[in-house]
Structure 1
């Protein structure tokens, strides 16, 4: 069973604030895609976590007030892994180091 650590993120269809998620306290953070609700992001991260057998998912908003929460070199942007048939989890797994 996957454990969730959520930092005041509201998972609603109309909430389009950019979010970050990391799995099993890894160094890299997944960044939600353009026009992706927090609920859609949560569902996609859950599927990715199941694929790599992660036990913990941590989710937070990308921006805390005006400050970016994480440095760019630690981010994996979902927009770079989007294809015609959805997101390429196999490519994402190559770049996501736990």
Structure 2
């Protein structure tokens, strides 16, 4: 890493100053159809993000011996899910 070079800023790759300076003219939106009640009735709102889980998880803080954690970690990726599955079977 070269500390003498400044880090590059992320860019939106659009000219926001030009967009902000644009003034909407009278006939610019004449081609767009009028918004009707039928159009609004057919509209669907799509929410972003992950879907709601049927079996949501709850954050819990628990202290376990280091050797227990290391044995689970040694089983590879997904060890926390496998641990949760094993604990859910012990009822």
**Fold similarity call, TM over 0.5:** no
Larger helix percent: 2
Larger strand percent: 1
Shorter-chain TM-score: which interval? under 0.3
